Structure 1
Amino acid sequence: MDQKPTMMTYIREEAEYLKNMLNHYPNNIPTIDGREWLLLATGSSINAAYSAKYYIEHLTDVIIEIEEPFKFHYYEKLRPAIDVVIGISQSGESTSTIDALKKIKLERPTVRTYAVTSNLTSEITQVVDRVIDIEMGEERVGYVTKGFSMTTFKLMLMGLKTARERGQITSEQEQLELKQFATAIEEIPNIINKTETFFERWQAEFSKATRFTALGCGSVMGTVLEMQTKFCETVRVPSQGMDIEVFMHGPYLEVNRNHQMFFIESNSPVNDRLTRLKEYETQYVDNLYTITLNDTVDERTIALDLSQIDEYKAPLFTIIPFQVLAHHIAEELGRNLTQRIYTDFGVAMQSKTKPGNYA
């Protein structure tokens, strides 16, 4: 009998699948003509949208608006300037995203609509003008990891191709971007190994945590939001991910010695502010950790050794340690992640069109 796949099964596949997506570029990326894109997504899909947003806007003249589809459907208006709407749903079965796309198409038939999904026969594909394949097949665990990374990269490559087609970058700049991605993707197995060593060093502290917090700014907002999602799903200890400015306007008051705090350094011009915050919190929190793109020797730091990666590409790689830690800390705490819980929730609450096909 084949062993059930786990989160780690799919995390370990990320490098191979990302490499394949890169090798198929640009033929696997559609041409998108609009200049104001509305991205509709929930859960890990919206976190992936935030992870790609600044990369796309950095390279192109595109303005990205990101919305939760349920809220958008009932409370928001489609601005006249929006000319492209992209619904993101790895399963293709997110009811709120499908319903919002239907409403938009009914109210503004001329707007171009796309679905970014890994399920090419799902319901979302029936309500859009064009389907964009995430190129990863089916992820048969309830806590997506590979799908998050593949969605982020697909969106980033959509931005790269758009920038090249509009003449906003040269062919040489495009090739440099591709080369930097390729070099960094080769490091993913090392990032996984480093994170596992890091977990072994600090697992006793992780198992006693009363709260996990991840802090970053700018381009890594998608990373901290996905950390929050993944830890809540798997570790099931209060977890939060937020911008440092948000943290400094209220949430800083709740910290105590038992908290576990992660700071994400992304080669951003505002890293100094992050560093000063970390130095301040050493007075009040015992366990502070750092995830950095650079190489450093520090037992409390996961050094990704990706100093050539700018802050806009960073989210594709800074999420990997959190994916690994979510799985390992959950296992340490006795969470049986292969045993699905609340299996009727999606259908009962009509958040999914049908139950997931989980192993």
Structure 2
Amino acid sequence: MQESMRNYIMETPDQCQQNIMQAAELTQIITDEFCKQTYKRIQIVASGSSYNAAVTARYFMEKTLKLKVEVLTSFSTLNYETMFDAETFYIGLGQSGRSTNTNAAMRKIIDRGYSLIGLTGNVESEMKCNCTQICNWGVGIEKIGYVTKGYTTAVLFLMLFAVEAARKTNRLRSQEANSILKEMLSMTECMKKVIHQTESWYKANTAGLFTEMNRIQITGYGSNLGVAMEGALKIEETLARAATAYEMEEYLHGPCYETTPDRTVMIIDAPGSASSRAYQLYQKLFALTPKTYLITTRKCEGEHVLSLPYPVKEELSVFINIIPFQLIAALGREQGGNPYEDRFTVFGDAMSTKSPRKGNEVGL
């Protein structure tokens, strides 16, 4: 199969389905490590899409494990964090295992005498030298740097870890854990439908949305704030358009004053207590810009609405709501994308964001 972002997006539901069916085996290394002692909190260190994935999975993990979960950037961990302790379960997250900042941050924690699990798509990468244990989160193959499959499978792995660790530590009864996994499997079937539905929506809105899209603001809430962050990152990376993610209510406390008629605003609406507020925002925002769009799991019609009314809970809606942003990036890139892409590759190499390739890479 030809390497393309779109093809990796198409592969993702089946990869997720496979990972869910093998949840206990896939997460065994990290769950066994977690069960060695009683922890008071979890701290995840990551950057880029891996950071966004951790933000997306955070609330599900907290709810399932009944533990506080903190997500820190690799740079801040390396340069500013000073408080480490043996009651924190440390996780380093990086798909290629080659992020210089993430590996250095992980090494800092290890050098202070604390255990740390590395999660990656390549267990033979440099990351294995900077952690206590290394674990493949089940990405499969993804060779394009604008990751889609990697983000989604990372979110899923962190959730599967939470379920299996909760099962092993009696925070969840086995029947409850199995019920969650069953819901996840149903969600993967919804993902396949959403891919095709979004492609049709994209084609219908190419002229009005995507060719005139210059400055984009994306709002989300709860776990879907991570989706908004990843959506903004993908648009920036692939289309060279300015995009910023905001928590929905925080958008109203300042950033909305930037919303002029030439701005595009995309609102993520998920099931839950904040849904009515998101829909209110969508209805009222046309007073500021005609380029207002709603991605929603409610049944709703409108030229600027992508309605994805599938029966998923709020914490699992992230797997559906990320797809439109991934496809905007993928299909937009196919139509021209970022004309300076090669220049930014050279820039990234000059800034040494990744360690050199060793020839053992299975993906990035």
Report the TM-score range of the alignment, normalised by the length of the smaller protein.
Answer: over 0.9
Q: In the alignment, does 2:223 pair up with 1:235?
A: no
Range with bigger deviation, 128-137 or 318-327: 128-137
Unaligned stretches of 5+ in structure 2? none
Equivalent position of 1:208 in the other structure: 212
Equivalent position of 2:298 in the other structure: 294
3-state SS, counterpart of residue 314 of structure 2: coil
The Cα of 1:83 is off from its aligned counterpart by 2.1
Counterpart mapping for 1:97-116 below 5 A: 97-107=102-112, 109=113, 111-116=114-119
3-state SS, counterpart of residue 66 of structure 1: strand
Amino acid at match of 1:11: I
Equivalent position of 2:279 in the other structure: 275
Equivalent position of 1:256 in the other structure: 260
Aligned pairs, how many?
353
C-alpha contact (below 8 Å) 2:299/2:307 kept by paired residues: yes
The Cα of 1:13 is off from its aligned counterpart by 0.4
Amino acid at match of 1:353: S
Distance change (3 Å), C-alpha of 1:75 and 1:62: same
Counterpart mapping for 1:98-247 below 5 A: 98-107=103-112, 109=113, 111-205=114-208, 206-247=210-251
The Cα of 1:338 is off from its aligned counterpart by 12
1:351 paired residue among 350, 353, 358? 353
Amino acid at match of 1:209: M
Counterpart Cα distance in 1 of 2:332 and 2:205: 10
The Cα of 1:268 is off from its aligned counterpart by 2.2
3-state SS, counterpart of residue 218 of structure 1: coil
C-alpha contact (below 8 Å) 2:84/2:109 kept by paired residues: no
Amino acid at match of 2:328: L
1:12 paired residue among 7, 10, 13? 10
C-alpha contact (below 8 Å) 2:9/2:148 kept by paired residues: yes
Distance change (3 Å), C-alpha of 1:178 and 1:264: same
Counterpart Cα distance in 1 of 2:151 and 2:269: 20
When the two chains are superposed, the root-mean-square deviation of aligned CA atoms in Å is: 2.1
Identity value in percent: 27
Deviations along 1:25-68, one digit per CA (max 9) or x if unpaired, are 21211312333111000000000001100011111122111111
The Cα of 1:304 is off from its aligned counterpart by 2.3
Unaligned stretches of 5+ in structure 1? none
3-state SS, counterpart of residue 107 of structure 2: helix
C-alpha contact (below 8 Å) 1:36/1:81 kept by paired residues: no
> What TM-score does the superposition give when structure 2 sets the normalisation length?
0.91
Amino acid at match of 2:212: K
C-alpha contact (below 8 Å) 1:86/1:115 kept by paired residues: yes
Deviations along 1:243-293, one digit per CA (max 9) or x if unpaired, are 012211211011122222111111121222222222221112112211122
Equivalent position of 1:49 in the other structure: 54
Deviations along 1:322-357, one digit per CA (max 9) or x if unpaired, are 10011223334x226897443333332121112597
Counterpart Cα distance in 2 of 1:299 and 1:212: 18
3-state SS, counterpart of residue 261 of structure 1: strand
> What TM-score does the superposition give when structure 1 sets the normalisation length?
0.92
